Amino acid sequence: MKYTPTLSKITIYPVKSLDGISLQKAVVTHGGCLLHDREYAITNEEGNYIIGKSNPLVHSLRTEFDLENSIISFRRQNESIVSQFNLTNERSLIEKYLSDYFGEYIKFHQNKTGRFLDIPDLSGVTVISNSSLETVSSWYNNLDVEEARRRFRATLEIANVPAFWEDYLFTADGSRVEFKIGEVTIQGVNPRARCVVPTRHPLTGEVLFGFPKIFAKHRAETLPVWSALESHGHYYHLSVDCYIAPSEIGKSLSVGDELRIG
């Protein structure tokens, strides 16, 4: 069957590990990532990232962004009080708010060249199909697609394809798979190995025990016959790490663009 893979959702995460925002169009910037994605990061006094993997409090901090006017807003989960700051000239106030929230000294950093990405020299975006999110959400009780989306935090979502179609974007031997979305050429590198973050509810941090075991069992059972995932050591993978070369800086992709392999 012939499919027409289409970009259906773009999500960037302006502050590493905090809430994402959806875009209709995104521009590739320096560092091979999307403009404003992981532009900011939170660290403790020793310089260690404050992220969901190591600090569950991350999950219950809500954020909203007005990037055009450089505004960030914070709100504690289940509270209505919103604290709003200017990202350009109120950095010290942001650090004070976050230090009070996390109960330790916090530094708020900015980097426009993609260095706050998880794998900055290898993966500027992650790709997943919305049918994969639908299938994964069906493996758990009371887990809907939006919650699955928040748990796995992919950048680009593809429609009009079956579950795990994105496995076409990596190989068994690690050779890259070139494809285009809109005017942007991208290279699929590896399947994304998952950590503890998807096991926690994205709004509360509550742990869904047995999450990786359930996931791996069903992933193995539903693995497409053509998928190279088995060669990557285990089944707790979802989405694909993708590299964008410096030649693509300034180019854009938009919701509705077709994905074309090769």
pLDDT tens readout for residues 54-65: 999 999 999 999
What is d(CA 184, CA 181) in angstroms, rounded to the nearest whole number? Answer: 5
Share of the chain above pLDDT 70, in %: 100
Side by side, the strands of the sheet bearing 6-12 are 21-23, 6-12, 156-159, 125-129, 237-243, 184-193, 177-181, 259-261
Token pair of 184, please?
A: 């942007």
**88 C-beta neighbours (distance < 10 Å), count:** 10
Q: How far is CA 147 from CA 16, 141, 143, 164, in A?
A: 18, 12, 6, 18
- The answer to whether the pTM exceeds 0.75 is yes
- Residue pair 101/56 in contact (Cβ under 8 Å)? The answer is no
Q: How far is CA 95 from CA 44, 55, 66, 85, 99, in A?
A: 10, 17, 18, 10, 6
Determine the pLDDT at residue 2: 86
Q: How far is CA 156 from CA 32, 104, 169, 186, in A?
A: 14, 34, 13, 12
- What mean pLDDT is predicted for residues 98-121? 97
- Kindly calculate the radius of gyration of the chain based on its CA atoms and give it in whole angstroms: 18
**What is the rounded average pLDDT for all residues in the chain?**
97
pLDDT tens readout for residues 145-203: 999 999 999 999 999 999 999 999 999 999 999 999 999 999 999 999 999 999 999 99
Q: What is the DSSP letter of 169?
A: G
Domain edges within the chain? 6-33+118-261, 40-110
- Is 1 a residue whose pLDDT tops 90? no
Domain 6-33+118-261 has CATH 2.40.33.20: yes
The letter for the amino acid at 116 is F
